[in-house]
Amino acid sequence: MMSKTDADTLYLVYDGDCPLCRAGAQGFRVNKAVGRLETLDARTTDHPLMSDIRTSGFDLNQGIVVAYQGQLHHGEDAMYMLALMGSSSDAFNRFNAWLFRSKARVKWLYPLLKAGRRVSLKLMGKDEI
C-alpha cells in the first residue's frame, strides 16, 4: 500500500539527470479534472513515495513511475496513464496524449524512449539511478 499521498495529486517520478525525462516532466500538464501534478526528481527527492517505489520493486532505470489515487504505474503503463490524464492545453500535451493513448504505440515507442535516456546519460557521463 502506498504512503499517504494527496488523493487529488498525480505524482510523476522521473530521472532529473536525463534531459529527455526532465523536458517531458516539465512540459507535461495534467487535466484539471485529475487535480494537480507534482513532479519528483528520483535522484534528489526524499518524498515518502520513493520508499513505496522501491518496495514495489519498480526500477526507475527501466521507466518512470506515476502514482495516483493509491496506485503506482511504471514504464509503459505510466506513459499510458499520463496520456489519459494529460491536458490538451498546448501542442506538446495534445501530441503526447494522441501518441501515448494507444497501448500499441506505447509498447513500440517506450523502448525507444528508454534507449534515448541511456544514450543521453552516457554522453553526459552520468550514472544510472
Number of domains within the chain: 1
Q: What is the pLDDT of residues 14-23, one digit of tens each?
A: 999 999 999 9
- Residue 4 placed within a domain: no
- Residue 22 placed within a domain: yes
- Cα–Cα distance, 24 to 79 (Å, whole number): 11
Phi and psi of 66, rounded to 5°?
-115, 130
Mean pLDDT, to the nearest integer, of 77-102? Answer: 93
Q: What is the pLDDT of residues 38-51, one digit of tens each?
A: 999 999 999 999 99
Q: Is the pLDDT of residue 121 over 80?
A: yes
* pLDDT the model gives residue 89: 87
* pLDDT the model gives residue 112: 96
**Residue (of 23, 24, 25, 30) closest to 9 by Cα position:** 30
- Residue 92 placed within a domain: yes
- Residue 96 placed within a domain: yes
- Residue 1 placed within a domain: no
pTM listed for this prediction: 0.92
Task: Quote the domain boundaries for residue 30.
Answer: 9-123
